[in-house]
Every structure is written in structure tokens, then in C-alpha cells.
Amino acid sequence: MKHIKVLGTGCANCKSTMKLIADIALEKGVDIQLEKTEEIQDIMAYGVMSTPGVVIDEKVVHAGGIPSRDKISGWF
Amino acid sequence: MSLFIKNQPRAFLLIAAIIWFALYKTLEPLSHILVNRLALKPASHSYDALQFFLYDTPKVLLLLAGVVMVMGMANSYFTPERTRALLAGRHESIGNIMAALLGIVTPFCSCSAVPLFIGFVQAGIPLGVTFSFLISAPMVNEIALTLLFALFGWKIAALYLALGLSIAIFSGYIIGYLKMEAHLEDWVRNMTHVQATTGADELTLADRIAAGLNNVREIVGKVWLYVLAGIAIGAGIHGYVPQDFMADLMGKDAPWWSVPASVLIGVPMYTNAAGIIPIVEALLAKGASLGTVLAFMMSVIALSLPEIVILRKVLKPKLIAVFVGVVSIGIMLVGYIFNAVV
């Protein structure tokens, strides 16, 4: 099971990113655990400067803007 | 289509540019033909208003799509990480100027302001230089500039660019001069220092085109409604509302306090560069003077209550007050200068 965190201070883009990841994981039948990290200190701990950022199993795979469908599909 | 972009990125760009240019050139004659079809009397109010609307709407949207496409591709060269690496180790003055310029081309969303701020400080970029970036990035952006250019001409867009950059450079310089590092929140100051690296991102031209197209979809998809509203207001009051409706309050002969009052009203408000355009259009059309309106526009875009609330997590109240104060004064000066020159 993949552990995915979306880093973001709560803007609209972060919510869209969450939804997109959840949708695509469901489509592909991949089992994931999705959570949101909103606390700025925790976000900075990953060294991400532009949100939304995406962390999979404690590794930053994306930062800045909503990731494309293709990019998300590539993670699964 | 995406296969074509992948295999022939240069050809795609060339063809897209030709189609764009051809479309742009046919807009004006086309709008005349369309309006004539509707059998309105030429030179009547409704003819003018409709022609203005039919010509301006596609013109602005087309310009916006073109600029956003190019900027989306440019943005892929200037990631925040690269900008940070470019600014690390710079001193004041040169650093302030570079930061303000990079603020134009680095992708920025106001919800990223705080992570970006901390990332810069963490890499040892001086506080004043960081602020120059933070002021320039939202205020001087391609959307504001394109809309100003398309609706009010290149002179106004150029003045906005020059004065916006000046505000960012000087405000940052002053904040740096005041040595306010002690007014960062303690946890920010105590964070470990990191080395600024660019990070390996080897993008192909096809990737950058994809990024540009994505930018167009995201921004034009969000902004078109505001543009439409702005132009509709402009067209709607074309000749209907008295030209000097706002002249007493915000016009040339308005009392001296109309500029600071506009800024005071604008600071707590927030909307993006596109959202403010309908208001600017309406105010200008009703006789408000340019400096006062632009000061209002800058204060709405550059400073806002939500941004101040987020920044409070990393800045102590005194530094926030200095930031808001310095930027507001800069914007007011711009308002007075515009009013005096134009």
C-alpha cells in the first residue's frame, strides 16, 4: 500500500490535487492511504517551496501546481 | 495531438504561432461583419457597444492565451528552486533588482507565499531581497500586464511594469536596511540552513510546450469570466453613463486624499489580477484618474488580509506592519506620480 501525503496550506489547488489522486487510484484499483499536511512547519520539513506538493512514502515526487493525470498515473 | 507535440515540438510551435497570428488579424474585420449582420445603425450607441464587445472579448482572450502559453513555457525554466539558487549569495541592491525581475517569471500563487518565503530565508537569501521577490511576484505578473496592454494600451502596461518593479525593489531595500531579521518568528530563525540547489530537471521542449498548454487551460479557464465581465461593463457604459460620474471622488480634481483612501480600501481586499480588471474598467470609464485607479489595483493585488494572516505565521507583528506600511506608501507615491504625469 502506498502512503501519499498532499502538502499544502489549504488552497483550492491542493484540494483538486487530493481529489485527482483519489480518483485515479480508484480507477486503477491501487490501494492508497491519502492524507493532507497543512501545518507549515511540516511542509517545510520536506523542503517543498511551492504547493501543492506530493509525497509518496516519504519521498517528494511533485511540487508546485496540480500534477497532470499522466504524472499521477505514472506513480501507480 | 500530444504525439505530434512529442515528435515535432518545433513544428507545433510554428503552426500554433501562425494560426494565432492569423486569428488575431481577422478579428477586427470579422467583428464589423458580425455587427453589420445585426442591422444596427452604424455609429449608434448600441452599434459601438456591440462592436467593442465583439472585438475586444476575443482580442483580450487571444492575447491572454498567447502570453500565458509563452509564460507557462518560461516558467518551466524558472522553478522556485532555480530562482532561489540564483538569488542565494546575492547582496542587497543587485539582489533586490534580480529578485524583483525574477518575481515576474517565477510561477507564484499566493498560497505558496509562505513556503517560498521560508525556503528563501533558509537558503541565506537576505530578508530585504526575499521581500523584493514577495512583493513583485503577485503584483507584476503577465496576466495583469497583458490585460492592461489589451484594454488600455502599451504605455499604461509599461508604466505599471516599471513602477511595480520600483516598488518591489525599493520596499525590499528599505526592509533590508532596517535589519529586521529579529522579527522573524523564532522557529523560522532556528531552522537549519540549507544549501540552495537547482535540482535536476531535464525537460524537453515537448515537456515545456505541455506545461505551457496546461498553463493556458488552467489560467484562461479561470480568468475568462472576469475578462468578459470587465469588457461587458466597459461596453455597457460606453456612452450610457456620464463620463465624469467618478470625477469628483477619484478624478483629476479630486481632493489630495483620494489616493491614500483608495489604497486604504484596497489593502484588505483580495482578488487576482483578472478579477480587478472589471472594476478598473468601470472606474476609468466613469472619469476616475489613472493614478488613483492603478494605486487601488496594486493595493488589492499586492496586499491582502488573507495573505497577512498567513504571513503572521512566520513574521512578528512589527515586521508585518513595516511590510504593509512600506508597500502602501510606495503604491501611494505611484498613484500621485501617475496622476501628475498622465
Condensed to tens digits (0 to 9), the pLDDT of residues B43-93 reads 666 777 777 778 878 888 888 899 888 888 888 888 788 888 888 878 878
Confidence of residue B129 (pLDDT cuts 50, 70, 90): very high
Fill in the DSSP letter of residue A10.
S
**Chain A window 3-32: which residues touch B at a Cβ cutoff of 8 Å?**
8-11, 13-14
Confidence of residue B18 (pLDDT cuts 50, 70, 90): very high
Say if residue B24 is in the same domain as residue B58. Answer: yes
Q: Is A48 on the interface with B (CB under 8 A)?
A: yes
- Which of B219, B236, B253 is at the close of a domain? B236
Confidence of residue B138 (pLDDT cuts 50, 70, 90): confident
What distance in Å separates the CA atoms of residue B174 and residue B166, rounded to the nearest whole number? 12
B112 vs A contacts (CB less than 8 Å): 49-51, 64
Contact B310 A9 (CB under 8 A): yes
Estimate to the nearest angstrom the gap between the alpha carbon of B16 and the chain centroid.
25
Say if residue B60 is in the same domain as residue B130. Answer: no
Q: Is A66 on the interface with B (CB under 8 A)?
A: yes
Three-class DSSP category at A6: strand
What confidence score (pLDDT) does residue B202 get?
67
| Half-sphere exposure in the Cβ direction for B170 (13 Å, CA) | 15
Please give the domain boundaries of chain A with CATH numbers for all domains. 2-75 (3.40.30.10)
Contact B111 A14 (CB under 8 A): yes
The string over A28-57, giving b where at least 16 C-beta atoms fall within 10 Å of a residue's C-beta and e elsewhere, is: eeeebeeeebeebeebbebbbbbbbbbbbe
What confidence score (pLDDT) does residue B43 get?
65
Say if residue B145 is in the same domain as residue B130. Answer: yes
Average pLDDT in chain B: 82
Smallest Cα distance from B108 to chain A, Å? 8
What proportions of chain A, in percent to the nearest 5, are helix, strand and coil? 40, 30, 35
Confidence of residue A16 (pLDDT cuts 50, 70, 90): confident
Three-class DSSP category at B1: coil
Q: What are phi and psi of B125, to 5 degrees?
A: -75, 130
pLDDT greater at residue B77 or residue B107: B77
Task: For residue A50, give the nearest of B80, B191, B214 by CB distance.
Answer: B80
**Which of A47-56, B51-60, B312-321, B333-342 has the highest average model confidence (pLDDT)?**
B312-321
What confidence score (pLDDT) does residue B246 get?
63
B116 vs A contacts (CB less than 8 Å): 49-50
Say if residue B310 is in the same domain as residue B259. Answer: yes
DSSP letters, B192-229, are PP-----------HHHHHHHHHHHHHHHHHHHHHHHHH
Over 60: is that where the pLDDT of B198 sits? no
Say if residue B12 is in the same domain as residue B129. Answer: no
What confidence score (pLDDT) does residue B97 get?
93
Say if residue B116 is in the same domain as residue B243. Answer: yes
The complex's ipTM works out to 0.73
Confidence of residue A14 (pLDDT cuts 50, 70, 90): confident
Q: What are phi and psi of A46, to 5 degrees?
A: -90, -5
A71 vs B contacts (CB less than 8 Å): none
What confidence score (pLDDT) does residue B247 get?
67
What confidence score (pLDDT) does residue B180 get?
86
Say if residue B246 is in the same domain as residue B333. Answer: yes
What confidence score (pLDDT) does residue B121 get?
86
Contact B111 A51 (CB under 8 A): yes
Average the pLDDT over B126-151 and give the result: 88
Average the pLDDT over B311-330 and give the result: 91
Runs of H (alpha helix) within chain B: 2-7, 9-37, 45-75, 80-87, 94-105, 113-122, 127-139, 142-152, 154-177, 186-189, 205-236, 247-250, 258-266, 273-285, 290-302, 305-311, 317-341
A36 beta partners: A6
Contact A65 B218 (CB under 8 A): yes
What confidence score (pLDDT) does residue B195 get?
63
pLDDT tens track for A18-54 = 888 988 888 888 888 888 888 877 887 887 877 788 8
Contact B109 A13 (CB under 8 A): yes
Average the pLDDT over B183-201 and give the result: 70
Confidence of residue B100 (pLDDT cuts 50, 70, 90): very high
- Which of B184, B213, B236 is at the close of a domain? B236
pLDDT tens track for B224-264 = 888 787 777 766 665 565 556 666 677 777 778 888 988 88
Over 90: is that where the pLDDT of A76 sits? no
R_g of chain A computed on alpha carbons: 11
Smallest Cα distance from A3 to chain B, Å? 23
Contact A40 B118 (CB under 8 A): yes
pLDDT greater at residue A39 or residue B177: B177
pLDDT greater at residue B287 or residue B264: B264
Contact B111 A40 (CB under 8 A): no
Say if residue B101 is in the same domain as residue B147. Answer: yes
DSSP letters, B48-89, are HHHHHHHHHHHHHHHHHHHHHHHHHHHHTTS-HHHHHHHHTT
Say if residue B274 is in the same domain as residue B142. Answer: yes
What confidence score (pLDDT) does residue B29 get?
83
Instruction: State the residue range of the domain holding B11.
Output: 2-75+204-236
Say if residue B174 is in the same domain as residue B92. Answer: yes
pLDDT tens track for B204-228 = 888 888 888 888 887 888 778 887 8
Say if residue B71 is in the same domain as residue B122. Answer: no
Confidence of residue B320 (pLDDT cuts 50, 70, 90): very high
Say if residue B49 is in the same domain as residue B146. Answer: no
What confidence score (pLDDT) does residue B332 get?
93
**Which of B67-71, B114-118, B190-194, B326-330 has the highest average model confidence (pLDDT)?**
B326-330
A59 vs B contacts (CB less than 8 Å): none
Average the pLDDT over B158-182 and give the result: 91
**Number of domains comprising chain B:** 2
- Which of B214, B236, B258 is at the close of a domain? B236
pLDDT greater at residue A4 or residue B244: A4
What confidence score (pLDDT) does residue B318 get?
93
Smallest Cα distance from B156 to chain A, Å? 31
